[in-house]
Amino acid sequence: MNKLIRTPKELDLMRQSGKISACALKAAISFTKPGVTLLEIESLVTEKIESLGGSSAFKSVPGYKWTTCLSLNQEVVHGLPSARVLLSGDVLSIDLGTIYQGWYTDCAWTVVVGKNQDKKIEKFLRVGEEAMWRGVKQAYSENQVGDISQAMQGVIEKAGFGVVKSLSGHGVGRSYHEEPEIPGFGKAKTGPKLYSGMTLAVESIYTAGTGDVYEAQDGWTITSSDKTLGGMFEMSLIVGESGAEVITDWRKC
């Protein structure tokens, strides 16, 4: 477990990596509108990360050649950038990561394209974001992974949505995915203990239906089995003594 507790210098590098990810995510959210293509968002994010001194974390994944994962509507995660033109009312999940001087951060956000007049979509997005923040609030020293997981599961399922149980959050730092795994479901006071100085990526991954998913023929895109909307919200953070320090909050960029 000691290898997962970062030094003060390492945490500073993680903060810098996180700021780059946050600013890239903010740029992507602001740019997302009807008429924009997924490839244009991909290009914007790549340029933003590189202009701030970072490089793409996702391109370090064997076989993956993009900076972003862009998942539309029934797609839940790992959607591929394409020439697809965004339409008003589309639901888009933007997922990206940065490497800065060898340190990785990861973040994601789901948005509706254009002006949303659908109260069901508004609720769907609000619940996913709330679930993630509830999980983040549990990321403090001497708590356990199950405390994060249960907090997220409770919000998602109370709203009538489904947790995607085959996908999870994770540790992040020297690589894109590290221990511990952080499922979106679980029981409080179970799982690995959390210690101040650990760095995690907490994410709520869910659908408007059962939460069951399948992998598309492209070998990457994960889609809801019942064709309901998919969503994800993710922030990288530093575990603290009494609370988490979120290092990829795009609203502060």
pLDDT tens, position by position, 183-227? 999 999 999 999 999 999 999 999 999 999 999 999 999 999 999
Bridge partners (DSSP) listed for residue 221? none
Range of the domain at 12: 2-252
**Token pair of 230 as six digits:** 């998919």
Count of domains observed in the chain: 1
Query: Mean pLDDT for the chain?
Result: 97
State the Cα–Cα distance between residues 167 and 208, nearest whole angstrom.
16
Confidence of residue 39 (pLDDT cuts 50, 70, 90): very high
Residue 132 has pLDDT above 60, yes or no: yes
Residue 4 has pLDDT above 90, yes or no: no
**Contacts of 56 by beta carbon, 8 Å cutoff, 6+ apart:** 46, 49, 66, 67, 96, 97, 98, 99
Q: What beta strand segments (E) does 174-229 contain?
A: 178-183, 199-207, 213-215, 222-224
State the Cα–Cα distance between residues 226 and 3, nearest whole angstrom.
41
Confidence of residue 115 (pLDDT cuts 50, 70, 90): confident
Bridge partners (DSSP) listed for residue 110? 93
The total of other beta-carbon atoms located within 10 Å of residue 175's CB is 14
Query: What CATH number is given to the structural domain containing 184?
Result: 3.90.230.10
77 sits in which H/E element? strand 75-77
